[in-house]
A and B are shown apart, each in its own frame.
Chain A
Amino acid sequence: MSLEPALLSPAVVDLPFREGYVRSIIYVSLYVSGIAVALSTLFSIPVAIVMGFTDFPGKQFVKSVINTGMGFPSVVVGLLVLFVVSNQGPLGSLELIFTKEAMIISQFVLATPPITAISLAAISGVSENVRDAARALGGTRLDVALVVIKEARYGIATAILAGFGRAISEVGSVLIVGGNITSASGISQTRTLTTAIQLEARQGQYDTAMVLGAVLLALVLTVNAVVVRFGDEGSVNR
């Protein structure tokens, strides 16, 4: 089987799947990772700000928990979320198992540690002198916090994109809690790019797997290109 670039477009060549199938998979991937990362950002940034601005007993411990969380195996997260949302679990009555919502929960758990840790590093990296300057010029506590966030903006953007990169390319937890389901008409319910690639490859549908792989790669490359660009812009202005 030869694979030429034109083959990558399902609209051009008759591939053994309908375009709607691929599109629905892309949609589910973006939907789940997008919402998970958005929620994660809403949670992580305030946590990072509070941790960056206050000292409290056990702060080092919380930091090391977050850092450990960055390397937490996604299958284990999936397993834990599965227990929580399964019928006997604490959230069993919500019937979330094998739904996009369950996948959002597990990706939230996965994306939160890197977003918090990288944002915290960016906020802590803002020089004490800058805070002093804001205070010296008459800034309130809130003004000082706003200055620090503004100074750390590139780092915070990098954190969010890194969280998205982890979520979108992750396969273990969404497979366990989402179940890799399509509807009877072949439209993805909880099938993501990663779980679809895994399934198609196992079934010997290598051309489909390749197309999906190319789409995923393009998404991740785009995200990383933006991260690099943000990083560059930050360093130019430093």
Chain B
Amino acid sequence: MIELSNVSQAYGDETVVEDVTLSVEPGEVVAIIGPSGVGKTTLLRLLGLFTRPTAGTVELDGQPVWSADEDERLQLRRRVGTVFQEASLFDASVARNVEYGLRVRQPWDDRLRDTLWSIVGSNGTPEAVKRSLDVVGLSDKLDQQARSLSGGEAQRVSFARALAYDPSYLLLDEPTSDLDPRNTGVIEEAIVEARDQGIGVVVATHDMHQAERIAGRVGVLLGDGFTEIGPTETIFENPTDDRTRQFISGELVY
């Protein structure tokens, strides 16, 4: 479980996230909805153990994150796969990109051998790489240069990259923003599949229908913190908070 307790995040004088309490269980999909610029990405960076909160505590599977030393924190972060909105693939083949998470987890002597082999010729693609590219429907692009992919393909490779090393949690920042409806469906299916395998998924999205389709719980981020968080049905059909209701009905315009 990833657990944020009374977490706040400020950059200088500007508070981006204020007093947020949120837990993500294995095997559930939590959607964070809200307009652009409201702090969804900051919240994901806190969940992904990237940013140290200015107040509050973050725990992963019961272990406090920010009182741990850097090495322990790295091990904790390795349980989480974060996919940022910007695909930012490495300047290498698709296969090498998807392999990256597996490679950094190998001991150094294996990595060195792997690098030497790759100079001589191909050393085969790990099954996990093929599998996760298969999930996003790009198994035919293994050897293509990542920088030559289209925006939508790059976004799907970026998703496959996080899936390959089998994380316990997946954090996705607008995972379908560059995708056509068909590929949006592919990714949403992959998210549900990941959930069924016991992965805890957090999706930040401004697409309320997407949240409704895939999430078990929804958090509505309108100001510095959640106006409301609860089961998807409750949020969409019976919101208790006035601003949530206005946001969902489209009356609240930012």
A residues near B, CB below 8 A? 127, 129-130, 132-140, 143, 147, 150-151, 237-238
Contacts and interface: CB of A to CB of B under 8 A. Distances in A.
- Classify the interface of chain A: helix, strand, loop or mixed: helix
Nearest to A138: B78
Given A143-B104, A150-B91, A151-B90, A137 B84 contact: no
A138 B165 CA distance: 9
Given A127-B88, A151-B90, A237-B91, A137 B162 contact: yes
Interface of B: 48, 50, 74, 77-78, 81-84, 86, 88-92, 100-101, 104-105, 145, 147-148, 158, 161-162, 165
Contacts of A130: 88, 90
A128 to B, nearest CB: 9
The CB with the most chain A CB atoms within 10 A, among B50, B86, B105, is that of B86
A136 B84 contact: yes
Contacts of A237: 91, 145, 147-148
A26 to B, nearest CB: 33
A137 B83 CA distance: 9
Given A237-B145, A238-B147, A132 B84 contact: yes
A134 to B, nearest CB: 7
Contacts of A137: 81, 100-101, 104, 161-162, 165
A138 B77 contact: yes
A129 B81 CA distance: 15
B185 to A, nearest CB: 25
Given A136-B82, A137-B165, A140-B74, A150 B90 contact: yes
A129 B88 contact: yes
Contacts of B158: 133
B74 A132 contact: no
A137 B162 CA distance: 6
A151 B89 CA distance: 10
B91 A136 contact: no
The CB with the most chain A CB atoms within 10 A, among B50, B84, B104, is that of B104
Given A136-B82, A138-B78, A238-B147, 9 more contacts: A129-B86, A133-B84, A133-B88, A136-B50, A136-B162, A138-B104, A150-B92, A151-B91, A237-B148
Contacts of B91: 150-151, 237-238
Nearest to B146: A237
Nearest to A140: B74
Contacts of B90: 130, 133-134, 147, 150-151
A138 B105 contact: yes
B220 to A, nearest CB: 25
In the A-B complex, list the 7 residue pairs whose CB atoms are closest, starting with the nearest.
A129-B88, A136-B82, A137-B101, A138-B78, A129-B86, A133-B88, A237-B147
Contacts of A151: 90-91
Nearest to B92: A150
Nearest to B148: A237
Contacts of B50: 132, 135-136
Contacts of A129: 84, 86, 88
A139 B105 CA distance: 8
A147 B104 CA distance: 11
A147 B91 CA distance: 9
Contacts of A147: 90
A236 to B, nearest CB: 8
Nearest to B70: A141
A237 B100 CA distance: 19
Contacts of A134: 90, 100, 104
Contacts of A136: 48, 50, 81-84, 162
B251 to A, nearest CB: 35
A138 B102 CA distance: 9
Contacts of B89: 133
A135 B104 CA distance: 10
B44 to A, nearest CB: 10
A83 B83 CA distance: 58
A138 B100 CA distance: 9
Contacts of B48: 136
A132 B101 contact: no
A136 B89 CA distance: 12
